[in-house]
Amino acid sequence: MSTALGNHILVEFMNCEPSIMNDVSAIERDMVAAAQKAGATVINSTFHHFSPYGVSGVVVIQESHLAIHTWPEYGYAAVDLFTCGEMNAWISFDHLKECFGAKSYSALELKRGSVNLLQRNDFDITSMRQKAAEWRNPDFYTRNVWFTDKDDEQALSLRFTGEVLFDVQSPFQRVRILESYKYGKMLALDDMVMTTEKDEFHYHEMISHPALFSLPSAKNVLIIGGGDGGTAREVLRHKNIEQVTMVEIDGEVIEACKIHLPKIAAEFDNPRLDLIVGDGIEFLKKASPNSYDLIIVDGSDPVGPAEGLFSVEFYTNCYKALKSNGILVAQGESPKFNEKAFTELNLTLQTIFGLDKAPISLFFVPTYPTGMWSFQYGIKGNITVNEVKNKSEIQDFVAKEKLRYYNEAIHTNTFALPNFVKELVRKK
């Protein structure tokens, strides 16, 4: 008979791969596999990622638990392997050592609950047995894994299944397709949510239709970025558009979305679309003047490859490439999440296009931090965007195309700004 109720191995994994130590989905997968490899029955796992670094999580097993806390900046993981019964937790140890790439480690094994020191008290558990028999085991373990899009002060978290459907480190960024419970499959670039199956229409309808209904005879559209394909899909709904040129820097984003988000990446084979995998910033440096009715900048946030999409030089080149009556629409960040980028972009557009030629459209995206997001406009020539001139045409289009966000009332109201936003972008 064993002399202890449990066995506890306290592990220090050191000099681990820092990126793995910060990857909540990989750690959850590895911890669950470590338990299963050692023959444990997994009941539940709950894992969280912390800002800016670190993962904590527990795998509850019928034989006790496996727990972890990581410090990616030190390449360090503190792991507890607590087991009872015949399970050999050293198998879990070996698995995790390999998965984490730990170059050094130490482990201390303790016996827990020494039976010599404990007194056994048997009690009647008949009623508990009845209750247990009534409870139906769903026969699967639950997972509690969260993806967090954040800065140092705010975050938006989505619970996802833990399944990683696509995970490629491209030359520009980490491209992932994950599956969230509430919003379906989701494209994440580095640690930022780009789009999800269930709310992508908010963004893609609003980046396209207010501008296109303000330019009824537009023919040529340039999209910079937009690798998921949602913006191109919306633009191509307009039959007056003869040619859409789309320049996306990262071919992996296109591939990931073609495979996993086909309803968003729906129009890549449209003959009116010229899809170029290349650098949009360089493309615009060489673009012929007066070429496009509409330029849409569907980029990600101003870190990594999209940083240049927030520069004065880039928007000066956009201005030149627009026709004399043309519109620029740019992903404009959030006045609540990225106030600095939001304000600076508007100042840039006011400087290049003119003080009264840089309207802002606000709209709602539940999966972006704070939910409040913007598109920022640059108007070249005499075009008004915040008025509806063709109400019945819009109504027919919305009905025919089954749009779910944009309508003629939203068209006007999206340009109405709360006072605090007006104050942020007050003309100097």
Q: Distances in Å between the alpha carbon of 97 and those of 16, 80, 90, 94?
A: 9, 13, 10, 5
Q: Which residues contact 63 (CB under 8 A, 6 or more apart)?
A: 40, 41, 83, 84, 85, 87
265: nearest Cα among 274, 251, 254: 254
Confirm or reject binding of residue 173 to ligand SPD (CB under 6 A). no
> Considering the rule CB under 6 A, would residue 196 count as an interface residue with ligand SPD?
no
Which residue number, 69 or 258, has a Cβ lying nearer to ligand SPD?
A: 258
Any contact of residue 214 with ligand SPD (CB under 6 A)? no
With CB under 6 A as the contact rule, the residue among 183, 353, 368, 377 that binds ligand SPD is: 368
Q: Among candidates 335, 333, 330, which has minimal Cα distance to 280?
A: 330
Smallest gap from residue 192 Cβ to ligand SPD (A): 5
- Residue 298 appears among annotated catalytic residues: yes
Closest to ligand SPD by CB, 70 vs 334, is 334
Contacting residue, 195, 214, 348, 350, with ligand SPD by CB under 6 A = 195
Name the residue among 19, 145, 5, 117 with its Cα closest to residue 72.
19
Catalytic residue among 167, 298, 356, 396: 298
Q: Which of 181, 275, 271, 277 is nearest to 231 (CA)?
A: 275
Distances from the Cα of 303 to the Cα of 22, 300, 308, 355, 368, angstroms: 19, 8, 9, 27, 16
| Sheet containing 372-380: order of strands | 273-277, 243-248, 220-225, 292-298, 322-331, 372-380, 360-364
Is 248 a binding residue for ligand SPD by CB under 6 A? The answer is no
Q: Considering the rule CB under 6 A, would residue 414 count as an interface residue with ligand SPD?
A: no
Residue of the chain from 162, 226, 302, 332 that contacts ligand SPD (CB under 6 A): 226
Closest CB 189 distance from ligand SPD, rounded Å: 8
Among 23, 63, 228, 248, binds ligand SPD (CB under 6 A): 228
What one-letter code names the amino acid at 238? H
Quick note: the x/- pattern for ligand SPD over 326-345, rule CB under 6 A, is: -----x--------------
Q: State which residue, 92 or 231, has the beta carbon closest to ligand SPD.
A: 231
Q: Which of 194, 211, 257, 284 binds ligand SPD (CB under 6 A)?
A: 194
Which residues of the shown chain bind ligand SPD in the complex (CB under 6 A)? 192, 194-195, 203, 226, 228, 230-231, 298, 300-301, 331, 368
